[in-house]
Amino acid sequence: MQRQHKQVRLLMALVYMAFAFAYRIMMIPPGVNDSHLPDLTGDLMMNYDIVSEIIGAKSILDGSFSMYVGRYSRDIIPNGVVLPYPPLTAYLQTPIVYVGTRLGLDPFGMTMFMICGLPYIVLGALCALQAGYVLRKCLGVSDEMTITATVFLILFSSLMFWVVTYAARFEYVAALFLLLAMSALGSNRYGLAGICLGLSLMTKQLALPAVMAFVIVALFGALRKEIELRKAFLLLVTIPIPFVMLVPFYIASPEGVREGMLKTPSLFPIMHVSFVNLCAQVGKLVFEERAVGEFLKLHSNSIILLLCVGYILAVVKSKRLRMDSSRFCALAGLASFLLVILTKYTYIDKYSVPASVFVILWGASRKPGFPYDALWFVVLQSFILDHVPVIWKQYVGLIFYSMVFAYVHYMAFTGSDNKLTIADSREPPPEVVGP
């Protein structure tokens, strides 16, 4: 039975990839040397990030490593574009841009845009399959139907379609590395887990809340002698290893890297419909509007990160969590949802990908049987993505994710999940004697 379900899950992944590949290839215009640059402000399928990734790949190929300066972009888009993310996606696109250019494709034409989305389709499918692996090996779910249903919900959700198939976004790559870190911890490979966490950060900064959940739970586990101190230390010291891919870009332009990755609005841009923005609107009634804007520009990143860390600390201090448990999935998901609620609007919900994956895993592992909690979350999220008018989607999305946050927190940490769940019901690890 287990082998049959594995084959079904693999078949589902192949079906998804075939559909997604066909969808993007059919969008390639006729002719090879297509020089048409789509309207990036009006077409979600052609977003600035794809342009930025191609710019980054070209800067790697010519050895200038200048993607944070926007050297190539001024000829393509008048205002210029830089990549406001870590460079892993640029490295990923480098062989595609190289081969495409050698074949005569316009680096900034629609054909290249369509092709650059293909790696994310494969990695998105791998993320869904890895979620099934985490359920079985880390979260203690033995029901094959539950695992298969969860993989199906991730693969064929509207979130996967809009983020990966349609928009060629890379947020599922960050989620994949987070799940790989969880799998590595389940195999007692803390060094590998740290490297995977570092790779998730080198994909996009929105992985920060989930990475902080891993780090804080590991530190509390070491303090409580639930895991060995050296293992927690190994996890911490290996996280920065992937940061080495930033070195050539930093040498080329130190200020460009700092501006592109660490400063507002690149790190956590505050969108018009978000909790922080709503507070800012109220603040304008008391304080000068320019003063509010300057305060947010200088301190919003720190405030948002402190709120995420504070929430994680509050939960971990009151609950004993293991990184291979259902409630840890809830913690990582909720910490990631805080980022969405505090700073982001919801349009294609790309910012909610890591949070959504962890909430689905929590819903599938919190109790035996069919993953109804994961099902209702995916169904409601898909309804909002597909059927709510755009003018209302931002507000409805903010309300929806706030309600998801409240529900999951209650069920995982104050409600029925205070009783042991599937993954939490296993015997706790023996105390470690000594450092």
What's phi and psi for 27, nearest 5 deg? -80, -10
Do 295 and 405 have their domain in common? yes
Write down the pLDDT at residue 267. 54
Do 236 and 375 have their domain in common? yes
Enter the tokens of residue 346: 């919801």
- DSSP for 293-344, written as a single string: HHHHHHHHHHHHHHHHHHHHHHHHHHS---TTSHHHHHHHHHHHHHHHHHH-
Write down the pLDDT at residue 68. 78
Write down the pLDDT at residue 271. 58
The last residue of one of the domains, among 116, 140, 155, is 116
Sign of the torsion formed by the C-alpha atoms of 282, 285, 288 and 290: positive
Identify whether 333 is part of a domain.
Answer: yes
Residue in 240, 121, 235 with CA at minimum distance from that of residue 182: 235
Write down the pLDDT at residue 269. 59
Q: Which residues touch 25 (CB under 8 Å, ≥6 apart)?
A: 114
Q: Which residues touch 18 (CB under 8 Å, ≥6 apart)?
A: none
Residue located via tokens 């779910």: 141
Q: How many Cβ atoms sit within 10 Å of the Cβ of residue 151?
A: 28
Do 100 and 176 have their domain in common? no
Q: Are 230 and 70 in contact (CB under 8 A)?
A: no
Please report which helix (H) or strand (E) contains residue 55, including its range.
Answer: helix 48-61
Sign of the torsion formed by the C-alpha atoms of 217, 219, 221 and 223: negative
Enter the tokens of residue 200: 């998730």
Do 97 and 199 have their domain in common? no
- DSSP for 62-116, written as a single string: TT---TTTTTTGGGTSTT-----S-THHHHHHHHHHHHHHHTT--TTSHHHHHHH
Q: Which residues touch 216 (CB under 8 Å, ≥6 apart)?
A: 309, 312, 313, 316
Separation between Cα atoms, residue 73 and residue 397, nearest integer Å: 33
Identify whether 51 is part of a domain.
Answer: yes
The last residue of one of the domains, among 93, 116, 139, is 116
Do 331 and 226 have their domain in common? yes
Q: Are 268 and 171 in contact (CB under 8 A)?
A: no
Identify whether 225 is part of a domain.
Answer: yes
- How far, in Å, are 181, 201, 202 from residue 192 at the CA level? 7, 14, 15
Write down the pLDDT at residue 197. 97
Per-residue pLDDT of the chain (435 residues; tens, 9 = 90+): 788 999 999 999 999 999 999 988 887 766 544 444 544 444 444 566 787 788 889 889 988 888 777 544 444 454 545 556 888 999 999 999 999 989 888 887 778 888 888 999 999 999 999 999 999 999 989 899 999 999 999 999 999 998 898 888 899 999 999 999 999 998 999 999 999 999 999 998 889 999 999 999 999 999 998 899 999 999 999 999 999 999 998 898 888 787 767 664 545 655 555 666 666 666 665 666 667 667 776 677 778 888 899 999 999 998 888 888 899 999 999 999 988 888 765 555 788 899 999 999 999 998 888 889 999 999 999 998 888 887 787 778 888 888 999 999 999 998 655 554 444 544 444 444 444
Do 204 and 286 have their domain in common? yes
Do 243 and 352 have their domain in common? yes
Write down the pLDDT at residue 91. 94
Separation between Cα atoms, residue 370 and residue 149, nearest integer Å: 8
Q: Tell me the residue range of the domain where 203 lies.
A: 171-425
Q: Are 114 and 27 in contact (CB under 8 A)?
A: yes
Q: Which residues touch 205 (CB under 8 Å, ≥6 apart)?
A: 85, 86, 261, 267, 268
Do 77 and 206 have their domain in common? no
Do 69 and 218 have their domain in common? no
Sign of the torsion formed by the C-alpha atoms of 88, 93, 94 and 95: positive
> For the chain, how many structural domains are there in total?
2
Measured in whole angstroms, the distance separating CA 169 from the mean position of its chain's CA atoms is: 10
Q: Which residues touch 434 (CB under 8 Å, ≥6 apart)?
A: none
Identify whether 290 is part of a domain.
Answer: yes
Q: Summarize pLDDT for 343-393 with one digit per residue, the tens.
A: 765 555 788 899 999 999 999 998 888 889 999 999 999 998 888 887 787
Do 109 and 210 have their domain in common? no
Question: What 8-state DSSP symbol labels residue 46?
Answer: S
The last residue of one of the domains, among 52, 83, 116, is 116
Sign of the torsion formed by the C-alpha atoms of 365, 369, 373 and 378: positive
Do 74 and 176 have their domain in common? no
Identify whether 240 is part of a domain.
Answer: yes
Separation between Cα atoms, residue 351 and residue 281, nearest integer Å: 23
Identify whether 165 is part of a domain.
Answer: no
Q: Which residues touch 212 (CB under 8 Å, ≥6 apart)?
A: 305, 308, 309, 312, 335
Residue in 323, 324, 334 with CA at minimum distance from that of residue 359: 334
Q: Are 92 and 73 in contact (CB under 8 A)?
A: no
Identify whether 4 is part of a domain.
Answer: no
Please report which helix (H) or strand (E) contains residue 209, including its range.
Answer: helix 208-223
What crossing angle do the helices spanning 171-186 and 88-102 adopt, rounded to 10°? 120
Identify whether 148 is part of a domain.
Answer: no
Q: Are 58 and 240 in contact (CB under 8 A)?
A: no
Do 81 and 185 have their domain in common? no
Enter the tokens of residue 116: 């650059």
Separation between Cα atoms, residue 310 and residue 325, nearest integer Å: 21
Q: Are 354 and 207 in contact (CB under 8 A)?
A: yes
